[in-house]
Homo-oligomer: A and B are copies of this chain.
Amino acid sequence: MADGFDSRHGGQGASRRAFLKGSVAAVGGAAAVAAGAAAAAEGDPLILEVQEWASGLGDGVDAVPYGMPIRFESDVIRRHVEWLTADPRSSVNFTPIHALDGTITPQGCAFERHHSGAIELSKQDYRLMINGLVERPLVFTYWDLERFPRENHVYFCECAANTGMEWKGAQLNGAQFTHGMIHNMEYTGVPLRILLEEAGVKPEGSWIYVEGHDASSNGRSIPMEKALDDVLVAFKANGEALRKEHGYPVRLVVPGWEGNMWVKWLRRVEVTDGPVESREETSKYTDLLANGIARKWTWVMDAKSVITSPSPQSPILHGPGPLVITGLAWSGHGAITRVDVSLDGGVSWQQARLAQPGQPKALTRFYLEIDWDGSEMFLQSRAMDETGYVQPTKDELRAIRGTNSIYHNNGIQTWWVKPNGEAENVEVS
């Protein structure tokens, strides 16, 4: 850390209250400041100022019963792109993944995708019906659900349209916009399997049809095999109640599968003997190929990754020298086993460090620490999952799927990092 720290931070509203008066003004980097501190240790007088924050009392524990981020972080928010859709109540906003680290997404900044807006539904008003091909049709209150055995799992939820604008080329300038239709939370809920067992699925019941309490109802068909596997009827995320915009009081969690199937404000589970072929799985959430045929039932989110920093919204704020490259990787098929990073647009690759061993159907944080020489980079990341699947390039995807698609773009992303530290969304081939 001996060199290369510039004064950019100082220029961004530096305080007049310096910690070590005279040292910070003169230099910026740790080692350079250290020279001043070392001198102090040898007896050279350091003029110390009493800082405002150390000379009085702060807020009491009665100040904020439920806290929000500090005002300095007011740019770490969900963002909406107005031209993407006709109405913000049938639209999407994006998780600020460029500014986050670790793997957990706080509910407050986790992306939203609604088809008719986020509704307000109380626990008192809440009901869940299970009907169709069952021995005993049931209606559960919210509190009925709390009487069944619960499980806890961390899972990612990714909208099928995440990175969808990239089918036709690099478009939106920031990881938040290209890859921010994703969040990762610890869910608490009742396995749907247990509720279906309570209702008694008839032998001919081979699918379920799920829908929400909102006006769109957002109905989707799910094969019984998945319904009986790891699907949760969830009421908590990251320990607390689901937020309104994430389906309060109850949503479906369909691990590894596209977010559209994670029905919010879950109203009904109908057991059927086939798929319903609803609007949301025919006109939407299918992938139109170049030959005019649409792929359907493309439920699983394939292995994917993105570098979150540096990236267009998270430029390098220092000169050459130590640089932490970090990002996220995930797979709907299971655990991430490896992530590689390229600095030269895919010509050569280095294995990144996984912060923790990959967990099934959950985000994995990766890091690569480099000694940046200050020259331009074409940063890419490439995820591999436990099935052996390797994240493809965008061109490899297009060769098979054409460019008509909106959904399921898991191609390798490229950030062009310039010598001044700024980054831009580009494609290399």
Contact yes or no, A125 B64, CB < 8 A: no
Stretch at the interface among A28-36, A164-172, A279-287, A343-351: A28-36
Please give, as numbers and ranges, the residues of chain B lying within 8 Å of A9 by CB-CB distance: 123-124, 141-143
Task: With a 10 A CB-CB cut-off, give which of A102, A141, A142 has the most chain B CB atoms.
Answer: A102
Please give, as numbers and ranges, the residues of chain B lying within 8 Å of A91 by CB-CB distance: 60-62
Contact yes or no, A69 B369, CB < 8 A: no
30 contacts between A and B (CB under 8 A): A1-B147, A19-B125, A19-B139, A20-B127, A23-B139, A24-B127, A24-B139, A24-B141, A30-B144, A38-B137, A40-B137, A53-B119, A57-B116, A58-B116, A58-B214, A59-B114, A59-B244, A61-B88, A61-B92, A66-B77, A69-B241, A70-B248, A106-B106, A106-B238, A109-B240, A148-B322, A149-B353, A149-B369, A152-B356, A152-B365
Contact of A107 among B29, B106, B235, B324 (CB under 8 A): B106
A45 at interface (Cβ–Cβ under 8 A)? no
Known: A20-B127, A137-B38. A150 touches B62 (CB 8 A): no
A273 at interface (Cβ–Cβ under 8 A)? no
Contact yes or no, B240 A76, CB < 8 A: yes
Q: Mark A335-355, 1 if CB is under 8 A from B, else 0.
A: 000000000000000000101
Q: Which residue of B lies closest to A242 (CB)?
A: B70
Contact yes or no, B17 A125, CB < 8 A: yes
Please give, as numbers and ranges, the residues of chain B lying within 8 Å of A300 by CB-CB distance: none
Contact yes or no, A367 B67, CB < 8 A: no
Please give, as numbers and ranges, the residues of chain B lying within 8 Å of A5 by CB-CB distance: 141, 143-144
A131 at interface (Cβ–Cβ under 8 A)? yes
Bound together, the chains give a CA A186 to CA B363 distance in angstroms of 13
- Tell me how many residues of A have a C-beta within 8 Å of chain B: 135
Instruction: Name the distance in Å between A175's Cβ and chain B's nearest Cβ.
Output: 14
Task: With a 10 A CB-CB cut-off, give which of A37, A103, A321 has the most chain B CB atoms.
Answer: A37
Return the 4 tightest CB-CB contacts between A and B, nearest first: A58-B117, A60-B88, A37-B137, A19-B127
Contact of A68 among B31, B59, B108, B116 (CB under 8 A): B108
Contact of A239 among B38, B106, B116, B243 (CB under 8 A): B106
A426 at interface (Cβ–Cβ under 8 A)? no
Q: Which residue of B lies closest to A144 (CB)?
A: B30
Contact of A57 among B28, B215, B217, B235 (CB under 8 A): B215
Bound together, the chains give a CA A355 to CA B232 distance in angstroms of 14
Instruction: Name the distance in Å between A99's Cβ and chain B's nearest Cβ.
Output: 8
Contact yes or no, A239 B152, CB < 8 A: no
Please give, as numbers and ranges, the residues of chain B lying within 8 Å of A73 by CB-CB distance: 240-241
Contact of A59 among B1, B62, B199, B245 (CB under 8 A): B245
Q: Mark A115-153, 1 if CB is under 8 A from B, else 0.
A: 011111111110101010000111111111011111111
Contact yes or no, B136 A34, CB < 8 A: yes
Contact of A147 among B78, B321, B356 (CB under 8 A): B321
Contact yes or no, B236 A117, CB < 8 A: no
Instruction: Name the distance in Å between A350's Cβ and chain B's nearest Cβ.
Output: 14
Bound together, the chains give a CA A64 to CA B111 distance in angstroms of 11
